[in-house]
Structure 1
Amino acid sequence: MPARRELQAQLDTLREQLDKNPPLSEPERENLRQLMTQLEAEIQLEDQLQDTNLVDGVNLAVERFEVDHPTIAVTLRNIVQALGSMGI
């Protein structure tokens, strides 16, 4: 499914951004790691039940990172769009 591939591509981009060691606190890094784990688990699920908690969590992360880390926030917004395309 194209939306799943797009979501995986965005997760890969986010992972690359984190590997570049932007100036994030350990709690911020852990928050992003947890979101990525949840998103990767969602990709693995065959049924596409809506999980508004997941989308809400990503939206909160967008708000949290948009001022100090705009590149990460853009990637997170793309993840929200990919989830929407998947019907999540």
Structure 2
Amino acid sequence: MARDYDSQLLESVAVRRRRLRDALLFGTQRGRRTLDERLGKLFAGIAIAAVLCAGCVGWSFLQATLAKQKAEEKKQRQQQEQLWHGHATKDP
């Protein structure tokens, strides 16, 4: 029973402090979000934007690397075909 009273007392003190802090920060506009919530959402938004940007850069790098590999393979195939055709015409 004593623990319930203590926990209720601590919770009511925490609620009172939060309300006083919000009243100090926002004045009569108590309906606004608390500063902590707004900062948390701001940082979350920045983190999401950073992840999206990194994903776009990574995707672009991957596409460029694959295109470069395809071009190199095509060039090697063409060189091999030229060598093969060159040997084929010289042999007879």
Larger RCO: Structure 1 or Structure 2 (Cα < 8 Å, ≥ 6 residues apart)?
1
TM-score by length of 1: 0.28
Greater radius of gyration (CA): 2
